C-alpha cells in the first residue's frame, strides 16, 4: 500500500486552447507539508482545484487518499479540508453562528470553542463576519477548514492579508495540525512561510515544475551570495564567483564561499577599501524563486 496521500502523474489541464498545467508529476506523503510555489499564473490553483475535484484534468492521473477526486468526491469530502483563496460565507452572521452553521454540515466536528481557540478568534465569536479584518477573515476560513479534523488539508495562500503576528500564529496552528498527523498541501507567495513550514517544495513556472525537493535540496543547487556596497572603483574577479553589479551594490554568486571571501578581504585590506554592509550567506528559497522567475526574462541585475 502506498503512503502517498496525493499522487499526480503527468497532469495536464487546458482552458480552451491555453494549457495551464503541462504534464506535472508529484507525490505528497502522509504527514508532510508540501508547498507548491510559483509565479503568478504558474498553474498552482488549477492543480489544487483538480485535487479538490473542482476542475477536470485534460490528461494524466490524479489520486487523493487513493481515490479519484471527481468520481469519489462524496467519499473524499469528509476526509479533506479546504481553505480557498476566497471564502464563501455570509457577512451578516456572527463568527460563532458561521462556525455552528458549518458544524451542522460536518461529520464529527470539533467543538466551536476549540476551533475558534485554535485560530485565536475566541474573542470575536459575537462579531459579524463582515466586520472582521482581512487577516481575521482568513483565520475564520482556516477554522472552518479544520472543523472536521481532515486527514488532508488544502491551504491556498492561507496567510494573504495577515500581519506578521497573525501569520506566525497561523504557522503555529499549521504545526499543531502536522503534529496531529494531518497532511498539508500549501500554496503561498511568502517564501519565508514555505521555508519555515515545508518538508518539501515544488516551484512551478508556466505550468511546469522547475524544481522539487526539500528546501535544503532546492537551495543547495544555487551558489552562495556575497554582497556589499562599493561607491567607487571596480570590484575584483573572484575565482569561484560570478560578479553582478547594480549601481553601487556588488553581488557575487560563489560556489566556494570560504575561498572567495578570503580573497575578497585580502583585496580590500591590501587596497585599504571599506566593504560597506558586507554580508555572506547561503542562497535562500527566495533566491531560487527569483532565479526561476527571471530566467528568460530581463536579468534582475546587470553584469559588469
- Reported for 212-216, long-range contacts at CB under 8 A and 24+ positions apart, including other chains, are 212/26, 215/285
The rounded distance, in Å, linking the Cα atoms of 80 and 52 is 9
Which residues lie below 8 Å from residue 126, measured CB to CB, with a gap of 6+?
94, 95, 96
Give the whole-angstrom CA distance, residue 88 versus residue 271.
Answer: 64
Residue 24 binds ligand ATP (CB under 6 A): no
Residues 6+ apart with CB under 8 A from 113: 122
| DSSP code string of 64-122 | ETTB-TTTTHHHHGGGEEEE-SS----TTSBHHHHHHHHHHTSSSPPPHHHHHHHTT-G
Strand, coil or helix: what is 224? strand
147 sits near ligand ATP (criterion: CB under 6 A): no
Alpha-helical regions (H) of 146-284: 164-179, 191-197, 215-220, 257-270
Q: State which of residues 1, 3, 40, 271 lies at the interface with ligand ATP (CB under 6 A).
A: 40
CB of residue 257 vs ligand ATP: minimum separation in angstroms? Answer: 33
Q: With CB under 6 A as the contact rule, which of the stretches 40-48, 106-114, 214-222, 240-248 interacts with ligand ATP?
A: 40-48
Site string for ligand ATP, 253-282 (x = CB under 6 A): ------------------------------
**Of 12-20, 61-69, 90-98, 123-131, which part binds ligand ATP (CB under 6 A)?**
12-20
Stretch that binds ligand ATP, among 34-42, 133-141, 235-243, 244-252 (CB under 6 A): 34-42
Stretch that binds ligand ATP, among 13-21, 104-112, 133-141, 282-290 (CB under 6 A): 13-21
Alpha carbons within 13 angstroms on the beta-carbon side of residue 79 total 16
**In the complex, least distance from residue 77 CB atom to ligand ATP, rounded to whole angstroms:** 22
Show contacts with ligand ATP in window 182-241 (CB under 6 A): none
Identity of the residue, 50 or 283, whose beta carbon is nearer to ligand ATP in the bound complex:
50
Which of residues 41 and 66 has its CB atom nearest to ligand ATP in the complex? 41
Residue choice 11, 24, 44, 209 for contact with ligand ATP (CB under 6 A): 44
Say if residues 139 and 108 touch (Cβ distance below 8 Å).
no
Q: Which of 2, 10, 15, 180 binds ligand ATP (CB under 6 A)?
A: 15
* Residue from the set 6, 20, 119, 203 that interacts with ligand ATP by CB under 6 A: 20
Cα separation, 170 vs 210, whole angstroms: 28
Q: Which is nearer to ligand ATP, 22 or 249 (CB)?
A: 22
Minimum CB distance to ligand ATP, residue 224 (Å): 28
Please give the DSSP secondary-structure letter assigned to residue 40: T
- In terms of CB distance, is 54 or 230 closer to ligand ATP? 54
Residues that bind ligand ATP (CB under 6 A): 15, 18, 20, 38, 40-46
Amino acid at each position: 500500500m502506498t503512503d502517498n496521500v496525493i499522487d499526480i502523474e503527468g497532469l495536464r489541464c487546458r482552458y480552451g486552447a491555453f494549457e495551464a498545467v503541462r504534464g506535472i508529476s508529484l507525490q505528497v506523503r502522509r504527514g508532510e507539508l508540501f508547498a507548491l510555489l510559483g509565479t503568478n499564473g504558474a498553474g498552482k490553483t488549477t492543480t489544487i482545484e483538480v485535487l479538490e475535484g473542482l476542475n477536470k484534468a485534460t490528461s494524466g492521473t490524479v489520486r487523493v487518499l487513493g481515490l479519484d477526486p471527481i468520481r469519489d468526491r462524496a467519499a473524499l469530502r469528509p476526509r479533506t479540508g479546504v481553505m480557498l483563496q476566497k471564502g464563501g460565507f455570509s457577512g451578516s452572521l456572527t463568527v460563532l453562528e458561521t462556525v455552528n452553521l458549518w458544524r451542522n454540515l460536518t461529520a464529527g466536528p470539533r467543538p466551536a470553542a476549540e476551533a475558534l481557540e485554535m485560530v485565536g478568534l475566541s474573542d470575536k465569536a459575537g462579531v459579524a463576519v463582515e466586520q472582521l479584518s482581512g487577516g481575521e477573515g482568513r483565520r475564520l476560513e482556516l477554522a472552518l477548514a479544520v472543523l472536521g479534523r481532515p486527514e488532508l488539508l488544502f491551504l491556498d495562500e492561507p496567510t494573504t492579508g495577515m500581519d506578521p503576528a497573525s501569520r506566525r500564529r497561523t504557522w503555529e496552528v499549521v504545526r499543531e495540525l502536522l503534529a496531529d498527523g494531518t497532511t498539508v498541501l500549501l500554496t503561498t507567495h511568502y517564501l519565508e512561510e514555505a521555508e519555515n513550514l515545508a518538508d518539501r517544495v515544488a516551484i512551478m513556472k508556466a505550468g511546469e515544475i522547475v524544481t522539487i525537493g526539500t528546501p535544503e535540496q532546492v537551495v543547495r543547487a544555487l551558489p552562495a551570495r556575497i554582497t556589499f556596497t562599493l561607491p567607487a572603483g571596480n570590484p575584483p574577479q573572484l575565482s569561484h564567483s560570478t560578479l553582478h553589479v547594480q549601481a553601487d551594490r556588488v553581488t557575487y554568486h560563489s560556489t566556494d564561499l570560504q575561498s572567495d571571501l578570503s580573497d575578497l578581504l585580502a583585496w580590500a585590506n591590501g587596497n585599504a577599501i571599506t566593504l560597506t554592509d558586507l554580508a555572506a550567506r547561503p542562497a535562500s528559497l527566495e533566491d531560487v524563486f527569483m532565479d526561476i522567475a527571471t530566467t528568460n526574462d530581463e536579468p534582475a541585475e546587470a553584469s559588469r
